[in-house]
Structure 1
């Protein structure tokens, strides 16, 4: 198995279409071991198309314990068993709450696939360099 996907229920609290809760998907691919993705379905977005945000697994992990992030994605704990994820884009900001237990379960699964601290062992630098050089021509 090289990928993990987990559905989560996100509670929308700001700047979006009229959907109080939305299904979202957290995903992780061992071929991109430092990153996680959170995908929102088309009906939950302002553009009416599926939107996928990519950010670091470390940001998600650290955001369970305290406020993290200074860019487009910010994560922080909120009350009992809730985590806030803020997504900042030129079109506006979306803020969602996700149960912290769901995020922890997802992160535990990713750690089973690629242990934290060993991500570098799963990088294919030769392939990535070849792709970079191919695109440069």
Structure 2
């Protein structure tokens, strides 16, 4: 059974300059962390020159395809009929990327086949999580 889904997508990095660059982004979902998705940016696309990953709620990505969602470090909203905006807020600044909504829907469909929405709690390993929490307290 598939437990991890990775999907490469193209994103357009929106900058203050008129040129908009295409950035390869990897979307990742791991059934062992059923409420989260991860979006990884390659080293050449980051200020630090190292790969940067953002992990945020799967539900945020789902809801952001239809309406503005999020108030924290990650915000998702429709841009037009074909594209979705994902904003990443950090102390260094804000990164805004445009992604094809169809690609995000395709990723979420694959994720739903692994863990159906609303059933994420059934895939949590509470014993493991509690053991990790207790180990960190020592």
1:88 aligned to 2:89?
Answer: yes
Partner of 1:20: 21
TM-score using structure 1 length: 0.96
1:134 aligned to 2:97?
Answer: no
Partner of 2:30: 29
SS in 2 for 1:28: strand
SS in 2 for 1:97: strand
Q: Deviations for 1:20-77, whole angstroms, at most 9, x for unmatched residues?
A: 0000000000000000000000000011110000000000000000100000000000
TM-score using structure 2 length: 0.95
Cα RMSD (Å): 1.4
> Across the two proteins, how many residue pairs are aligned to each other?
136
Show the 5 A alignment for 1:47-58: 47-58=48-59
How far apart are the structure 1 equivalents of 2:20 and 2:125?
40
Unmatched segments (≥5 aa) in structure 2 = none
How far apart are the structure 2 equivalents of 1:15 and 1:131?
43
Partner of 1:101: 102
How far the C-alpha of 1:135 sits from its partner, in A, is 1.1
How far the C-alpha of 1:14 sits from its partner, in A, is 2.4
Partner of 2:115: 114
SS in 1 for 2:136: helix
SS in 1 for 2:67: coil
The runs of at least 4 consecutive aligned structure 1 residues that moved more than 6 Å come to none
Unmatched segments (≥5 aa) in structure 1 = none
